[in-house]
Amino acid sequence: MSEDVKNAPDFDADEILEGVLRWVDIESPSHNADAVNHMVDHVEEGLAVLGLHVNRKPGRDGFGDILTARTPWGGDGPGILVLSHLDTVHPIGTKDDRMKIRREDDKVFGPGIYDMKAGAHIAFYAMRHIVRSNEETPLPVTFMYVPEEEVGSPTSRDMIVELAKQNKYVLVTEPAREGGKIVTARNGRLQYTVKVTGRPSHAGSRHMDGRSAIKEMARQILRMEELTDYDNETTCSVGTISGGTTTNVVPHECEVTVDLRVPHVEAQQRILDFFDNLEPFDPDCVVEVEGGVDRPPYDKFEGVESLFQHAKGIAAEIGFDLQDLKTGGGSDGNFTGALGIPTLDGLGADGHGAHSYNEFIYYSSLVQRAKLMYGLLRTLT
């Protein structure tokens, strides 16, 4: 062992937290490209200081830039892809109003701190520890920072898939679940917009001439909600509805958005078939459907199980029992897991309250998770 490694700095919880809070202080809601790019600027500068080869792809469709960085060692062969996102669901000003950045004993609060700026920074910190310790990882490591994961990664998903296919493993820094568990399987998500067009008429004098789009949609909503089957881990939620003009007009149009979660490909296909064949109850109404698969499902296949057992061994050496679970939430790990590439998700900080005004991480989890990420980067071959 070199003298530099012997004198390597310790994992410092206060140092990790200081970096996390700098990232949290830069608010970056998904639909604010300038704000997200301010975050990208900060992360890009840090990666360049570490000596990584940085590439920045300009954003499109109103979203921020996509940032990637690769270690200078390891050559061009397949390695490890570390997936993080820099956007949050919280609007600008949240840190000054509903969620002030603060620490209360073991809890540290802030917009996006749990989902997922703490996890994104933990991975950065693990790489910084490697560089400061004058070490190299056995495999090349590529970091990818996504600007719009919270809205489905519409501009980055193709690049996620492309990079994942070039690597042996994928590590996703989404937050830990239920006391520190990592994610080894995820349900899939489908999204639809359903529009009904009816026929307007005077609600008083010529009611019989109208065909109510809202009445038709009400029947469609009941039909769609019946897709929910808790025993088979399938859920359907009609999330928004709009329609009509004034109360004395039989409504001409109505539109809803629909969120569905499915446990496996077979259930996904049943949902696709359902919406492909959606027909109106009233033949004088027209039903139009747009949407489909947002994130595909994946289960814990053999490669994920092997990768999890490797992580579990590292955790045991650190001093804790790492457990895993399957979750109904979606992430960019859905894209990589569905490709059959061994993927570990939920490697970020432990905490609670994602997407809420009570979002926090546990300070006590920071060193533990940083050591786990460091161990994975240093031992995967």
Per-residue CA distances from 105 to 271, 320, 366 (Å): 46, 22, 14
* pLDDT recorded at residue 75: 86
- Alpha-carbon torsion 17, 20, 26, 32, what sign? negative
Under the phi-then-psi rule, with left for phi > 0, alpha for psi from -120 to 50, and beta for the rest, what region is 153? left
Domain ranges of the chain: 3-186+297-379, 188-295
Q: What is the pLDDT of residues 3-14, one digit of tens each?
A: 334 455 799 999
Angle at 154 (CA atoms; ends 34, 32), nearest 5 degrees:
15
Angle at 153 (CA atoms; ends 220, 72), nearest 5 degrees:
160
Q: How far apart are CA 109 and CA 102, in angstroms?
A: 5
263 closest CA partner among 229, 289, 238: 229
pTM: 0.91
φ, ψ for residue 355 (rounded to 5)? Answer: 70, 10
Q: What is the pLDDT of residues 65-117, one digit of tens each?
A: 999 999 999 888 999 999 999 999 999 999 999 999 999 999 999 999 999 99
Q: What is the pLDDT of residues 236-284, one digit of tens each?
A: 999 999 999 999 999 999 999 999 999 999 999 999 999 999 999 999 9
Is 364 within 8 Å of 107 (Cβ atoms)?
Answer: no
Element (H, E) at 43: helix 33-49
* pLDDT recorded at residue 1: 32
DSSP-assigned beta bridge partners for residue 185 = 326
Is 305 within 8 Å of 319 (Cβ atoms)?
Answer: no
Q: How far apart are CA 114 and CA 212, in angstroms?
A: 45
Q: What is the pLDDT of residues 157-210, one digit of tens each?
A: 999 999 999 999 999 999 999 999 999 999 999 999 999 999 999 999 999 999
Q: How far apart are CA 150 and CA 328, in angstroms?
A: 15
64, burial (CB in 10 Å: exposed 0-12, middle 13-18, buried 19+): buried
CATH architecture, range 188-295: 2-Layer Sandwich (3.30)
312, burial (CB in 10 Å: exposed 0-12, middle 13-18, buried 19+): middle
How are beta strands 351-352 and 343-344 bridged, if at all? unpaired
CATH architecture, range 3-186+297-379: 3-Layer(aba) Sandwich (3.40)
Position 229 pLDDT exceeds 60: yes
User: 138 Cβ partners below 8 Å, 6+ apart?
Assistant: 74, 378, 379, 380, 381
Q: How far apart are CA 269 and CA 265, in angstroms?
A: 6
Q: Locate 221 and state its tokens.
A: 């909503």
* pLDDT recorded at residue 329: 85
272 closest CA partner among 286, 282, 260, 283: 260
Position 2 pLDDT exceeds 50: no
Q: How far apart are CA 269 and CA 11, in angstroms?
A: 47
23 closest CA partner among 106, 93, 104, 122: 122
